[in-house]
Structure formats: structure tokens, C-alpha cells
Amino acid sequence: MKELLERLSEPLLRIYSDMQADLLVAIIKRLAADKTLLEDGAFMEWHFRKLNQLNGLTREAVTIISRSTGIAEKELIAAIRRAGFESIKDNEDFLKYAHKKGIEVTPPLPPERDPTIINILDRLKTVH
């Protein structure tokens, strides 16, 4: 039964692996062509959120991006952190505004306690 499940899941795992690789290549190409994208919160947030969703935001991925683009790992990590916190802050501000207007919402956690942000930062700690 275990072998059957492994065979059935293999195509799906290949798809995820291919998606990770394609996204990594896309990030590298864009950053190599325009290093100012490190300061573009929308670019960084979207691409690295997607990479994280595919479990591809790892030390190895940061190292590959760094080597391929010439951008220092510490600089990449700082940009990823900025993008993550800016994204959470934008959502937090929107939800607080909606709450003030009487729309029933659960107030968001502050970014420093948000499990998604903490997860991303924990994955990146090993790079230092």
C-alpha cells in the first residue's frame, strides 16, 4: 500500500518541484537584470511568499539566488524580511480600519507574533 501511495504521489511531487525550480529561476532572472527590485516590496513579497508556500524558501534557495545574482545573502534576507513585515503591516492597517467601521473582523496579530512571519524568519535564521 505504501508503494502504491508513493507512486501515486510522485507526479504531484514532481509538479511542486518543477514549480519551485521555475519560480527560483524567475526570481534570479528578474533580480539579476534589476537589483533595484530588492527595494520593491510588492515584487519581493509576492515572489517569496509563493516560494515559501511551495516550501522552497530555504537557506539553499537564498544561497542559489545570491550566487546567481551577485546579491549578498544578508541583503536578500533583509529584503525578504522588509517585504514580509510591510505586507503584514498593510493587511493589519486594512483590518483595523474595517474593524473601526464596524465590519466584524478579528484583529490581526502584530507582525512580530504572526506565525507565518515567524516561520519565514526561522527558516532564514540559519543563513546567518
Torsion over CA: 35, 41, 47, 52 (sign):
positive
Q: Residue 56: its pLDDT value, please?
A: 81
Q: Residue 34: its pLDDT value, please?
A: 94
Domain limits at 52? Answer: 2-125
Residue with cell 512571519: 117
From the CB of residue 24, how many other CB atoms can be counted at a distance below 10 Å?
20
Longest dimension (CA), the chain: 55
Give the total number of structural domains in the chain: 1
Residue-wise pLDDT for 33-88, tens only, equals 999 988 888 888 888 888 888 878 888 888 999 999 999 989 988 888 877 666 55
Q: Residue 123: its pLDDT value, please?
A: 67
Burial of 57 (0-12, 13-18, 19+ CB in 10 A): buried
Q: Residue 49: its pLDDT value, please?
A: 83
Check residues 65 and 123 and name the one with the higher pLDDT.
Answer: 65
* Average pLDDT of the chain to the nearest whole number: 79
